Structures are given as C-alpha cells and as structure tokens.
Structure 1
Amino acid sequence: MGKIKISFLFFLAHFLVLLLFSTTYAFAQANQDSLHYYYQAILNPKMPTDLPNAISFYNKKKKLDLSNNDTLNAIRDLRMIAIAQNKIGDLFETESSIVEALQLIKTSKHGNTWVQSAIGLYNQLGNTYRTSKNYGEAINAFNQALELVELTRDSITILNNIGNVYKDQHQFKNAELQYKSALKLVGVTSDSIQLAMVLDNLGYIQAKQEDPQALKSLNRALSLRERINYREGLYSSYRNLSEYYMDRNETSMALQYANQAYEVAKSLNSATYLKDALTRTMLLSEHANVRELGRLSDSLDLAKQLEENKNAFRKYNLEEERKRGDALKLQQEQEKRQRQLFQVISLGAILLLIASYFVYRYRYKKGRLEEIYKTESRISKKVHDEVANDVYQVMTKLQNASTAQEEWLDDLDIIYSKTRDISKELSALDVQDDYVELLGDLLLSYNSEQVNVLTRDISEINWDTISNHRKTAIYRVLQELMTNMKKHSKATVTTLSFGNKGNKIIIEYSDNGVGAALKKHNGLQNAENRISSISGSLTFKSQLNKGFKATIIA
C-alpha cells in the first residue's frame, strides 16, 4: 500500500512539473510569435492597422522591459516604434521616441557598451530630420553618429546619408565630397550593396552637374544591383536613370526606366514607391494635362509635407509650452511647500523660545527659592549655634543668684554683638558709596589676635566702573571665604591681592591654615554659584597642612 502511495505522489509531481514546463514554454512561444509578427508588421506592413497595432504592442513591451530594468530591449522597442511612427508620417513622435531611447543610453551605467545602438538612433534621427526638411538638425545628428562609429560599414552609411542631405538642398559639390569619401571606404569592404548605393547617388549628382562620368556611375550601380537582385536598390537605379534621360529630353529612354521602376514598385507592394513611379510616368506623358497633373501632384506632396512639418513644429511648441507650464507649476508648488516649511519652523522656533522663557523663569524662581531656603537654613543654624546657646547660658546664670549683674551684662553685650554681626552679614548691601571702605571693613573684621588679615592693591581697582551686582557678588564671595577661614583653617595669616586683567577683576586669596581635602560644603558652593551668576569663576587649591588658596575672576 505504501509503494502505491509513493508511486502516485511521484506521478502527480512529475505531471505537475511537465504541466508547468509546457505552460511556460507555450507562454514564451506565444510571446516570441507576437514579437516576430509585429516586427514584420513594421518592416512590411500589409494592412492599414498593422503600424498602429505594432506601435501599441511595442509601447506595452517597452514599459514591461523598463519595469524589469531591461534597458537594452527597451531601446530596441523604441527604435521599432520610431520606424513605425516615421512610416505613418508622425515625425514629431518619431523624434520623441528616438530622443527617449538616446536618453536611456546616456543615463545607463552601461551606456558605453551600447555604442552601436546609439549610432543607429542618431542615424535614424538624421533621416527623420531629413524627411521633415530640417536639414541643419539632420547634419548634426549624422555628425554625432559619425563621432561614435567604429566600423567602416557604419561610416559609409552615414557619409552617404550626409551626402543625401546636401543633395536635397542642391548643394551638389558638398554632396559629391561626401559620396567620394564613402566610395574610398567601400573599396576596403567590397560590399556590393553599399558600393551600388554610393555609385547611384554619386551618378545622380554628377548628372545634375553635367559630369560625363554620370552615366557610367549610374549603370555600374544598376549592374551590381541586377547581379544580386536587390529590388529596393533596383527601384532607385531605374528612377535615377529615368530622371537622367528626362533631363536630357530623351523621353523614350526616360519612360522605359520609369516603367521598369513601376514594375519593381508593384513587386515590392510599396505604396510610396508606386505613387512616386506613377508620378514620374505622368511627367513623361505625351499629354500636357497629364504632365501638369504629375507636377501638381509633386507640388501638393511638397506642400503637404511642409504643412505637416509646421503642424509637428506647432505640436512641439505646444508640448514644450506644456512642459514649461508643468515645470513652473512644480516650482510654484515647491516654493509653496518651502514657505509652509519655513512658517512651521518659524512657529516652532517661536514656541520653543516661549517655552524656553517659561522653563528658564521657572528654573530661576526655583533657584531663588532654593537659595532663600538655604539662606534661611543657614540663618536658623547660626542663630541656634551662636545666639540661642548663649541666651540659654545667660538664662541659667540668671537662675543662679550668685552670678554678678556685671557678668550678665557682659554676656548680653556678647549676644548683642553676635546678633549685630549676623544681621550685618545677611542684610542688603549699600555698594553705591565708598566700596573700598565697605570691603576693607569686612576683611578687617576677621582680623584678631590669632589671625592677621593683609590686603594688597584693593584701592588700585577702579570700583566706580564695576556694576553694583558684581560688587555685591564679590563682597559675598569674600565673606564666604573669610568665614570658611575663621571656622576651619586655623590660619594665622591671610592674604588677599587685588588686580585687573582686561575688564575682569582677579583676587588671589591664600592662608597658612591646616588646609583640607577639597570638598565643597554649602558656604563654598554658594560662593561658586554667586560668582557664576556674573559669568566669573572661582577655583580652589588646597592640601592638608599646606594652607588654602583660591582665585576669584569676576
């Protein structure tokens, strides 16, 4: 039973693989068949719908190839589209398709590997401009192709096409130079088709210049084409020979070659060739009316071509105007977006500034409150440590009747002095008048039998130029340092030197106390905060038993 199940599963898998392969193959084959069909529809159209349908097919294929990043096939698609558009007579669209293909080559990473495609496109563009009688652009396009050519065969084709442009303008000398340059290169390749093409064109302009070599060139070209039965070439040879004899009023010979050209046109089933051959036959008719009809037909064809060129030019201008309008609209939209972005950024910046102001204000108020709290705590501790204990001691003495009244009075005087000092330390400063005296009194108040306080150059500073805010900060910082010295350093000598550096005041503090391992307590931290508030700095330097130093820059 197990073997049967395995065999069935194997068979089913094998069947599915075959089905998938056959479906994929059938799909690929169908695509290949369609590609061949529409390729032939462009090269040899038989129905009026062949060219439009082929253009639609290759447009869809181009989009698919571009979505698959298959640039090479997309370029080939555009070349086929351009050929079909040219045959329909839509020269503007032909030019657009060729330019699009060239742009794909220029923007591709592998553009240098597609030189042959670029040569073919420039050559095709030159022929399109020639058809629309835009001769200057045609020459430019052919010259661009000529700059890229690597193969002799390509050079021959392009030189021949440049000669054709000059031939259309009746600049026969210039045309002859191009054809003879091509003829020299043909000798290297021994290509019968190209040799016949150049000889036929050379014979035509030689005939227009009454060159006796003209008929020899035309007949040699015809002989080469008859040998290989190149029918499109044969049509050109018969047509040019007909015109050669018509220009010389040899009507019977001219008509003979015109009829041969007509027979070739019928075999090619080319409407363009048939119309041209019939027009030439009418021009050779014995009836004046028929000849006039032929000339009129040529004139109408030329007028129609010129009008189509004007329409294409107008269409081009309208397209360019639309592109400019789209570009202007895009630019306006971009400018609008930039303005909106600028407005959003500006609004954001304003909101940020407002928010920053309130944050700063909040932090400032919070800092002030913290400073007030620290100050209140310090006052409370100072009153408790220095006043409350002394008051308690006096109260104890009052309870002891043996204590003399004079001793109470002395104790009360000490308490009063301490209270006055605390008040003086924490009260608002009047720094407007005689700041040197105020600062000197502060420093000398710490002078005692145990501590000698020395100041240097304090009066050399021009204190009148210093703001009240800075003077208050300097005063309080020095007050903190002196209090720190009195409480902790056990110093006997303290020195303060004053000086200037630019618009900054520099104060060097040093004492010979016991020093300390640097650890900022509330007093020194408050001093740093104060000096920072005026964009100054306070640095300390101290070691155990080596004194204490500080530098104030305010």
Structure 2
Amino acid sequence: MFFACQKKKNNTEKITNNKVEIEKIINAADLFYKNKQLDSAFYLYNKARANCNPNEDAKSYVYCMYYMAEIQQDHEDFIGSTITATETFPFLNKITDSEYVWNIYSVLGRNYYYTYDYPNAIYYYSKAFILKSDRINKLEAKNNIAVIYIKQQKFNKALRIFLSISKEKIIQQNPAYYSKILDYIGHCYYRLKDPRALPYFQKSIEIKSEAKDQDGLGRTYYNLADYYKKYDAALSMKYAKLSYENFTAAGNIDDCLLSLKLIINNSSDIETKRNTLTYIKLVDSIYEVRQKAKNKFAKIKYDSKKEKIENLKLKAQKIKNELQIEKQERRNIISYVIIIIALCLIIFLYFYLTARANREKIEATYQSETRISKKLHDELANDVYHAMAFVENRNLSVEENNTHLLKKIDEIYSRTRNISKENNPVSNDQNYTSQLKEMISKFDNSNVNLLLNGLDTISWNKVDKTKKIAVYRAIQELLVNMKKHSEASLVAITFKEKDNNTIIINYADNGKGIDTSKMILKNGLHNMENRIHSIQGEIDIYSEFGKGFKVQIKFPL
C-alpha cells in the first residue's frame, strides 16, 4: 500500500513540474511576442503546445495555439492559421474562460475575411458575439460583421451597425476606436452618395491628429482621396499622397500599396513609371518575407510533431519488446478462438441468409401470384361470364349480336394483354425511362389528368437494376390503387435527385383519401412498402379522409 501511494505522489509531482515548465516557456514566448520577435515567439509557443496535454491543461494548449494562429495570420498564412485554430475545437468545451474561445473564433473570422469567404467569417464573428464576454469584445465582433457588410456592398446594413456602435460610451471614450467608427460611417455615407460623409471624415482626422495616430490618419486620408476621386483630381491626389506618407511613417506596408495604387492611377507618365517601380518593389519584398515566414512556421510545427511522434514510437517499441514473449502465447490462443468464432459466424450467416432469401423468394412469388389471381378474378372472370351468358341467350346468326360478341371478346383480350404487360420483366437498359413513361401514361385518360415532372432529370444509368424494378413496381401499385379506390381526377408524380445522391419521388392525388390513423397496409400498398424497404429506402404516407392521398418515396442512388 505504501509503494502505491508513493507512485501516485511521484506522478503528481511530474505533472506539476511539467505544468511549471510549460508556464515558463509561455512567459518567454509572450515576451518575444510583445517585442515583435515573432519567429522566436512562434517557436516557443509551439514547444509549449507540444509538451502540453490538452485533455489535462486545455487552457494552456488553446492559449499557445491562438498566438501561433495569430502569428501565421500576421504573415498572411491564412490557411495555416485556420488549421492551427481549428485544432483547438475538441478542447474548447473544457475551458471555462470565454475569452480564450472568443480569441479562437475571432482569428478564424479574420482568416475567412482575408480569404473572401464572407459567410464563414460572419458565422465565426457571430459565434464570438453570442459568447458571455465583456462589452468591448461584443462591440468588436459587431464591428467586424459590419465591415463584412461593406465588402458585400450592403452599406445600409453596415451603416446601422456603425451608428449604433458610435453611440456607445465606452467607444466614445476611446479615441482610436471612435475615430475608426467615424471613418466607417463616413465611408458608408460616401458609398450611399450621401453628403453627410465629409463631416465624419473631418471629425476622424481631428481625433487622429490630436492622438498622433499616423496609421489611422493614413486610412482617413485614403478614404478622402477615394471620396474626391470623381470630383476633384488634384485634391484626391493630395490626400492620396498624405495617406501614403502616414502609412509609410507607421510602417504599414500593405496599406502603403493601396495608397500608392491610387497615386499611380492619377499620376503623369513619368511619375507613374517611378511609382509603379516602387509598388512592384514593395510587393516583391512583402511576398518574399511572408513566404519565408510561412515556410519557417510550417517547418517548426512539422519538426516538433515529427520529434514527438518519433519519441512515442521509441517508447512503444520498448514496451512492445518487453511484453512480446509474454503476449505471444496469449495472442495465439486469442487468434484460435477468433478463427473458430469467425468460422461459426460465417456458417451461421450463410444458412441464415440462404433461408431468409428462400423465404423472401417464396413470399414474393406468393404475393405476385395472389395479385395476378385477384386481377384475373376482378377484371376478367365477370367479363368472361357475361360473354358466355350472351352466347347462350342470343342468336349469333344475327349480325348485331355477332358484332357485340366480337367486341366483348376483343375487350377481354386487351385486358389480358394489359395484365400480362404489368407482370412482364422491367427493362434496365436505356429504354427504362420510356418504359416507365409508357406504363404511367396508361393511367392518363379522360377521367384522370396525370402530371409527370422531373423523370428525365434522374441519372437512371447510375441506379442499380433492382432499385429500378422496385421503383417501377411501386409507382405501378400506386396508380392501380388510385384507379381502383381513390376516385381521383388529378394525379401528380414528381422525381427529384438531391445533391447527397438521394432520389425523392412525390406522389399526390385529389382522391377521397384515407384515414392514416386507422390505415392497415394491405395488398398493393403492403407490396409497395416491402419493395422500397428492400432497397434501403423510406416511404411516408400522408392522407386524410376526403383530402387526397400523398406518398413520398426516398432511396439512395
């Protein structure tokens, strides 16, 4: 008992020491991140993440993954950033602090925004918004959704959100946030051709000038350059150059390119050439730096994962070698038992499936014979009897009687052919569609108006032959049932193929219907249900007495 307690204590100490070590690594990574040394920060966050067990310390794991995703996003590796962030999903429900979850949703929202996947961006910003978080986080998520509306040209929706945010006291007390909101409001008014745009831009410049926010000034001057582009080319150029100067001073190379592009469009030939060369040089420089960063961060993650996998393999191999001799005999015994059980199971399944197939074959034959027998009785026996009575009681030498008898015999022959055709084998080749149409058309007469839609849109060549036969017979059963019982004057059959490789057939008539609560499937309807279930399909019947009869059949392609 003493040794067991001692072992548990050692394990606890090991876990505690490991957590302390992880916290030291994270603190060092945070310091590098704060000092903009992102390569070193990423390396240490990844190291801490690799040593962390997310099931026991989900908070530290998610924290590291979030900052790794942020660094990848900062270097425009949006796919890598998204992969890193989504790896935290299985552990988010283990964290009580919503701030960590909010960070993950926000970084995903930005990744999708930067890659122009606006619906997914709105989805993750909305998830961030509904979390129990502080007010400033909720307003930021709300702001991000409005920015996407601008990208989607939904300026009225965006404007309503920005105006509501601008009234928040917490925003008005923060010059950086407030001036950005004013910029967005001005931009929305400008895109809606509303003259109220200009005062908002001017107010934003006042706030940013006082706060010496060069990056923010660059953004507002850019908006003003865009605002005056169509009305005053000289003033537009002036603001474009001011935007470029402020972005350059703030070290914002991405937005420098936007301003420089605007300047190029309004420059003379000589200036255009010089500015274009500067633009190309900046683009090449940014691309090279970011590509190197992407490769470096991917290699750091890969090397760490590879090292961890190799260590696990070595430990597993060691354990395997130690237990190999002891387990060999046990494995042999288990193998023999499994083989015996498998053989017994195979034999049992063989006899069971054979017996079931025979039962189903007998049942299907019985049902088919019963149905044919009933048709012969209902549709032919009475007519034959009347024909015989007519022969006995009439003088066939009279031409009128003779003609009547021949007509009666012809009718009996036609009905016999119809019954024969109904039970003929169904074609599964390219003539299947035309054969199905021909069968359905036989029920379209002066008393019944039959509508058929979507039959030719189905990829019947991809459908298994047993399923085609089941569909043919099921529709045939429905139409026969309609003709016998429903007294319908209008029938509609619709075929539809869904994207998930599912075929849906909707049948509806305006007949007298049935009470489904008291309905017992018999004969044709019972056969139809068995056919659909045999092809892994589903069948639903909807009907009320006096309100028609509807059936939906659904089965996999």
| TM-score normalised by the chain length of structure 1 | 0.44
| TM-score normalised by the chain length of structure 2 | 0.44
Q: With CA pairs under 8 Å and 6+ residues apart, which has the higher RCO, 1 or 2?
A: 2
Q: Which has the larger radius of gyration?
A: 1
